[in-house]
């Protein structure tokens, strides 16, 4: 079998093995490729960064473990950003398999930044109903969520003495693995005009550009790349050596405080290697395909 036929009839197990190696090696030995933030991700970061201390932010984590690698690091980065800035995030989900994932991120970041549930942040958990829940929150959050994830009545929480409905918030961000961004835009952003951002899986990012261009969302973080960009922005500003580092290190009383590259930034090297492999494989397969076609035509002419 010559090279052309070998490529065109390549066993799929060989492709699987190369893909696996492309993922494993960069994770073991990071290449530290540059992550350059795009204007879309700046649109979220800048909007949150300019909010005054004590502002409230809605973070809706509408995803499940299937989209964890793309969206969970974004939740971590957003919570880091909010806690560093002294903002008060209200975290909830419209997906039944989401609360446990959100709980892990919320409790992890609250522990690091020494924040207290019900006072510095709220974790509302899951509520069935989709758009009806959002419409309910536009009217009254304690009316829609009578208790938080831990069963504490929302009416008794100090955080809900400051805000009671969506219009009282300063920013909304939806981390979506499905089509919840549109629902948040239609039922929360449009009637209240509270600025909104979106973070979504890479596969659905293209669908949200019309909303971004129409300024219905201030920014868009698509897939693991968008998340890595957000992590980079937070790290550059508030990590060691960044302009905002000293203030947060003083506030936490920890001179060794630093923001390390998150999971999405670490995953970018592996994603780069796999993408490059797929592109090379497609080009190679096409070259071989055209050579095979040419040969076939010549053989037909000879016959």
Partner 1 sequence: MLFFKRQWPIIIAFVMGILMWARFYVPTAESQTLQDEYMRWERIIVTFASLLGILSLLHHHWNKVRLKRPGFAYSYITIFAFFVMALAGFVPFPIPGFAEAHNSGDGFHMWLYKYMFSPLQATMFSILAFYIASAAFRAFRARSFEATALLVTACIMMVGRVPIGELIAQHSVISDYTVLNFPKWTEWLLNIPNAAAQRGILLGVILSQIAICVRIIFGIERTYMGGGD
Give the binding site for partner 1 (CB under 8 A): 10, 12, 15-16, 19-20, 23, 33-36, 38, 64-69, 97, 100-101, 104, 127-130, 132-133, 135-136, 139, 143, 202, 205-207, 209-210, 213, 222-223, 225, 228, 268-269, 271-279, 281-283, 285-286, 289-290
CA 107, 112, 114, 115 torsion: positive or negative? negative
Nearest distance from C-beta of residue 7 to partner 1, angstroms:
9
Give the nearer residue to partner 1 in terms of CB position, either 260 or 293: 293
Nearest distance from C-beta of residue 85 to partner 1, angstroms:
27
Nearest to 120 by CA among 153, 157, 159: 159
Nearest distance from C-beta of residue 268 to partner 1, angstroms:
5
Give the nearer residue to partner 1 in terms of CB position, either 101 or 196: 101
- At 223, list the tokens: 């897939």
Give the nearer residue to partner 1 in terms of CB position, either 55 or 201: 201
60: Cβ contacts below 8 Å, ≥ 6 apart: 91, 92, 93, 94, 172, 173, 174, 175, 176, 180, 184
Nearest distance from C-beta of residue 127 to partner 1, angstroms:
7
Give the nearer residue to partner 1 in terms of CB position, either 155 or 286: 286
Three-state secondary structure call for residue 261:
coil
264: Cβ contacts below 8 Å, ≥ 6 apart: 69, 70, 73, 74, 77, 224, 225, 227, 228, 230, 231
Whether 256 contacts 112, CB under 8 Å: no
Give the nearer residue to partner 1 in terms of CB position, either 57 or 110: 110
Vertex 159: Cα angle to 156 and 163 (nearest 5): 105
Nearest distance from C-beta of residue 12 to partner 1, angstroms:
5
């Amino acid at each position: 079998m010559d090279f052309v036929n070998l490529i065109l009839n390549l066993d799929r197990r060989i492709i699987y093995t190369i893909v696996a190696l492309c993922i494993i090696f960069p994770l073991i030995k990071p290449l530290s490729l540059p992550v350059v933030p795009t204007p879309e991700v700046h649109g979220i970061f800048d909007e949150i960064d300019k909010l005054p201390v004590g502002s409230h932010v809605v973070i809706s984590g509408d995803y499940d473990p299937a989209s964890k690698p793309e969206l969970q690091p974004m939740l971590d980065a957003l919570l880091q950003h909010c806690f560093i800035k002294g903002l008060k995030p209200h975290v909830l989900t419209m997906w039944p398999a989401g609360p446990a994932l959100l709980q892990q991120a919320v409790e992890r970041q609250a522990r690091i930044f020494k924040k207290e549930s019900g006072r510095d942040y709220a974790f509302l958990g899951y509520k069935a109903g989709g758009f009806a829940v959002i419409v309910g929150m536009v009217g009254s959050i304690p009316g829609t969520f009578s208790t938080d994830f831990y069963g504490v009545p929302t009416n008794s929480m100090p955080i809900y003495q400051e805000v009671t409905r969506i219009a009282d918030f300063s920013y909304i961000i939806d981390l979506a693995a499905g089509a919840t961004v549109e629902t948040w835009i239609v039922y929360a952003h449009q009637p209240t005009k509270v600025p909104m951002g979106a973070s979504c899986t890479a596969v659905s990012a293209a669908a949200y550009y019309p909303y971004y261009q129409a300024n219905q969302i201030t920014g868009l973080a698509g897939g693991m790349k968008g998340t890595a960009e957000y992590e980079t922005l937070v790290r550059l500003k508030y990590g060691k050596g960044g302009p905002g580092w000293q203030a947060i290190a003083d506030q936490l009383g920890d001179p060794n405080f630093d923001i390390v590259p998150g999971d999405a930034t670490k995953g970018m090297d592996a994603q780069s290697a796999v993408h490059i492999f797929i592109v090379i494989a497609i080009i190679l397969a096409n070259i071989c395909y055209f050579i095979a076609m040419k040969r076939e035509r010549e053989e037909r002419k000879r016959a």
